[in-house]
Structure 1
Amino acid sequence: MKYFVVFLLMLVKVTTLQAQEDPVLLKGTVVDEFTQLPISNANVINLNSVKGAVTDELGRFKIEAQVNDTLHISFVGYQSIKIRVPADWIKTRDDFKIKMIEKSNALEEIIIHKYQLTGVLEVDNKLIRLNENYRLNLTGLNYGYEANDGSKLGSAVLGGFANPADALFNTFSKKGKELRKLRKVKEDENVRNSLATKYDRDMVSALLNISKNEISEILQKCEYSKTFIDTATDLQIMDAIKSCYEDYRFLSK
């Protein structure tokens, strides 16, 4: 009888540990903290698994997660938040309410024109020529992005690795685990769509666990133009970092 009890306790423990390790489908609702109204089309990203979800018209979402996974919730005009998944949420799987705070300095949506054209043909032609930087093709994509010097595209990344102690080398070396998430971005449609509509680098910073300043430093070292760094979508920024990271790995071997 004694051994049976011990066996039963061990079985319960193993089952509990297994349940904690396997991802479960969690439910949640995103609302405005002050009005309590649901926020639809908010992006919910699991930063650990790089999987995402979008809230419906009632602010509801479902996403797979494990204990201690970090969820990143964002929506235009609201402060992005991170939530560490607690064990109670995994255990009960209740509908978890997430409250977002509206930015006090939220701006109305504006459209930034690529070339800031004047409408005067002669002037606009010159502006376009000045802004037409050379394009650098990225792995797995059917289009390219701007780079500073078209005559040096083949060796653009090499210059960034001349000094093993420079910012690029150190950033990649210390953040290798996070940067491996770059390959997972394309695997989830919700994550891709979310990044494709954002320009604030907030989600890029959260996914890769690097500061926004480090993002700019990496791209500068990889010879991307200031125009690209300032105006590209978050998805384009992720693709650019991925390309540079893959070159770094190749050259560091």
Structure 2
Amino acid sequence: MRRILLTFFFLVSLMGFAQTEEENQEIRDITATVVNAQTDFPLESVHVINLNLVKGTITDQNGRFTISAAVNDTLYLSYLGFKTQKVRVTNDMFRFGDTKIALTELAYALEEVIVRPYQLTGYLEIDVKNLPINNSQQYSISGLPTSYEAGSKNPSAVTKVLGAILNPADLLRNLFGKKPRQMRKLRQIKEDDNIRDLLASKFDRETLMELLQLEKVDIEDILNNCNYSKSFITTANDLQILDAISSCYEEYKVLNRKQ
């Protein structure tokens, strides 16, 4: 009899645990307020992204936002001039509904900047010789309409370019095959206007790294091997970088399908 009772209580506990887990995984709307940690004033137009669901929103004039989330999802908050912050969603945030999230201002130490203007003479032949030289190397192959930028004089740069052209399927498979789940997020990211607006205003790759779970060096490696120039990789905003990665990934899927 005791064994039957123990089994019964065990099954009841197990069912209660399963029900709690199901509730924790339920996607619901969560509302919170973002404030300045120093002044406690609400912050308007803070970008909030649910990294798990790949959904974004922005705070209103009162610093409030509403976004879909489940327990243990990660919210990523970004605001110009403030330190980005990641917040884990808890049950309390659903129960009480008045969560306050504080962002800390960044302190910038301005260094002395020395401006050295070019000493132009007005004579084209002389001034052209004084312009800085672009050290990036361009390689062209007979029969192909475009040249490819290797970025350095290192002999391996030539190998990298030839590898990208002559065996692109293997190259892209090595790059994208390591992160298939993150790469599938590309389409979701591109369809969310709030996330696209945020990426269009950023140049640090920080948000992309969080969304795709890639290191900055991985992003640069992908673009290098997809024949994007060094100048594009260093000057493009995060949205342009996202579109470039997406284009390269689509090429990978087509090539992979043919294998």
Q: Tell me if both proteins adopt one fold, taking TM over 0.5 as the criterion.
A: yes
The root-mean-square deviation of aligned C-alpha atoms, in Å, is 3.7
Mark the runs of 5 or more structure 2 residues left unpaired by the alignment: 111-119, 135-143, 149-160
Residue of structure 2 in register with 1:151 after alignment = 146
- Segments of structure 1 that go 5 or more residues without pairing to the other structure are 108-117, 131-148
Partner of residue 184 from structure 2, selected from 173, 180, 192? 180
Q: Equivalent residues in 2 for 1:70-81 (5 A)?
A: 70-81=74-85
Aligned to 1:195: 199
Q: Which protein shows a greater Rg?
A: 2
In structure 1, C-alpha distance between the alignment counterparts of 2:221 and 2:211, rounded to whole Å: 17
Describe the SS at the equivalent of 1:174. coil
Query: In the alignment, is the contact (CA less than 8 A) between 1:73 and 1:81 conserved in 2?
Result: yes
What is the identity, as a one-letter code, of the residue corresponding to 1:18?
A: E
Give distance in 1, aligned partners of 2:191 and 2:162. 26
Q: Does 1:24 align with 2:28?
A: yes
Corresponding residue of 2:107: 104
Q: 1:5 to 1:14 in 2, by over 3 A?
A: same
Q: Is the 8 A contact 1:160 1:221 kept in 2?
A: no
Q: How does 1:58-73 map to 2 (within 5 A)?
A: 58-73=62-77
How far is 1:20 from its partner?
2.0
> Does the residue aligned with 2:65 lie in a helix, a strand or coil?
strand
Change (3 A) 1:163 1:187: closer
Amino acid across the alignment from 1:218 = I
Report sequence identity in percent: 40
Q: Would the alpha carbon gap of residues 245 and 21 (structure 1) be closer, same or farther in structure 2, given more than 3 Å must change?
A: same
SS of the aligned residue for 2:102 comes to strand
**Paired residue secondary structure (1:44):** strand
CA contact (8 A) 1:42 1:75 kept: yes
Mapped to 2, the partners of 1:223 and 1:195 lie a distance apart of 22
> For the residues of structure 2 that align with 1:200 and 1:10, how far apart are their CA atoms?
47
Change (3 A) 1:194 1:188: same
SS of the residue 1:98 aligns to: strand
2:167 aligned residue: 162
State the number of aligned residues. Answer: 214
TM-score (norm 1): 0.71
Amino acid at match of 1:96: T
Query: For residues 211 and 10 of structure 1, do their structure 2 counterparts lie closer, same or farther at Cα, with a shift above 3 Å needed?
Result: closer
TM-score by length of 2: 0.70
State the one-letter code of the partner of 1:162.
N
